Amino acid sequence: MADIAHIESISSLENLRYQVSSGVDQVYTSLQLVFNSIDHERTACDMYLTKGQSLVEKWSVRAESARRQAEAIQCELDNLPADDDQNDYSSQRAALTSKYEDAVSEAEEYESKRDAVAEITGQIAENIRQIGMACDTLLNYTLRAESEINNQGRNAVSAIDRVIVVARQYIARRLT
Amino acid sequence: MSQLMSAVQNVQSVAQSFDKAWNDVSGIWDDSVAQTFHSTYISPLSSEMGLYISRANANARDIEQYQSEVQELAQQLDRI
């Protein structure tokens, strides 16, 4: 760096300084965009997880309600008196049995939806976990790149500054 | 293309312009001075950025893939 004998022009050096300095600034700025994007990616999929969890809750509540209804109908069926010579409960029994079967079928349908939604939500959660890990890795790479740009890049600019000072002194000495 | 992938590609493009700018202006130096400066400051920075871009691109692609799977799964949720 000390050999400046062949440096002809301060303005060329200043141009070099500008190119290096602005290049370093641009790389630094573009790395900040990566940081912002990492934050964005971390939260982008969370809404799908929330949606999945609320759907699991929705179908669970419906399935439990249908199961309770089926149990209540079963109680009514159990409490129905046996037929005797004066009373025939067969039509009531048939109606309750049909209602019971509908309630059980409804509960099974809701349970099936709940399980399917839970399975998909689990896969979404796993993907979000992977995204989080990949974001952590990328964050570390980006922090390191930022540090290198700050250290090496700014050092390069400082080195050119020092050369410019020496070059100015050299030219001043030649002029006197 | 995801915002992240686009940000990483922006770093790549800026880093390439930086290398090109260096090549354009390095001619004003005496060869030995330019070489010393390059090997001290520019070359390590350039290799570090090259390594970063290669890792970041692979990483951003993985994230994009996971996100695309999440969107596909979300569509399955809508169909239930």
Tell me what pLDDT residue A9 has. 64
Across chain B, mean pLDDT equals 84
For residue A110, CA distances in Å to A18, A27, A33 come to 67, 54, 45
Residues from chain B that touch A113, judged by Cβ atoms under 8 A, are: 80
| pLDDT tens readout for residues B35-54 | 787 888 888 888 888 999 99
Confidence of residue B25 (pLDDT cuts 50, 70, 90): low
- Burial-class residue A102 by CB neighbours within 10 Å (0-12, 13-18, 19+): middle
Check CB contact under 8 Å for B36 and A1. yes
Tell me what pLDDT residue B21 has. 72
Nearest-neighbour CA in chain A from B25: distance (Å): 6
Q: Rounded to whole angstroms, how far apart are CA atoms A128 and B80?
A: 21
Angle among Cα A97, A99, A101 to the nearest 5 degrees reads 70
Q: Rounded to whole angstroms, how far apart are CA atoms B34 and A30?
A: 27
Of A45, A138, A152, the CB nearest to B45: A152
Closest CA to A93 of A108, A69, A73: A73
Tell me what pLDDT residue A1 has. 42
Closest residue of B to A48, CA-based?
A: B74
Helix spans in chain B (H): 3-25, 31-37, 43-79
Nearest-neighbour CA in chain A from B56: distance (Å): 6
Tell me what pLDDT residue A116 has. 96
Residues from chain A that touch B76, judged by Cβ atoms under 8 A, are: 120
Closest residue of A to B34, CA-based?
A: A1
Question: What is the DSSP code string of A73-116?
Answer: HHHHHHHSPPP-SS---HHHHHHHHHHHHHHHHHHHHHHHHHHH
Check CB contact under 8 Å for A12 and B28. yes
Nearest-neighbour CA in chain A from B23: distance (Å): 10
Phi then psi for residue A131, to 5 deg, are -60, -45
Mean pLDDT in consecutive groups of 10 residues from the start of chain A, 176 residues: 52 80 88 89 87 96 97 95 86 94 97 97 94 92 90 87 83 74
Q: What tokens were used for A11?
A: 């303005």
Of B44, B52, B66, the CB nearest to A130: B66
Q: Can you tell me whether residue B1 is helix, strand or coil?
A: coil
Q: Rounded to whole angstroms, how far apart are CA atoms A104 and A31?
A: 58
Q: Give the count of beta carbons closer than 10 Å to the beta carbon of residue A1.
A: 13
Closest CA to A120 of A128, A131, A109: A128
Check CB contact under 8 Å for B74 and A51. yes
Closest CA to A142 of B55, B47, B67, B43: B55
Tell me what pLDDT residue B46 has. 85
Tell me what pLDDT residue B75 has. 93
Q: Give the count of beta carbons closer than 10 Å to the beta carbon of residue A2.
A: 9
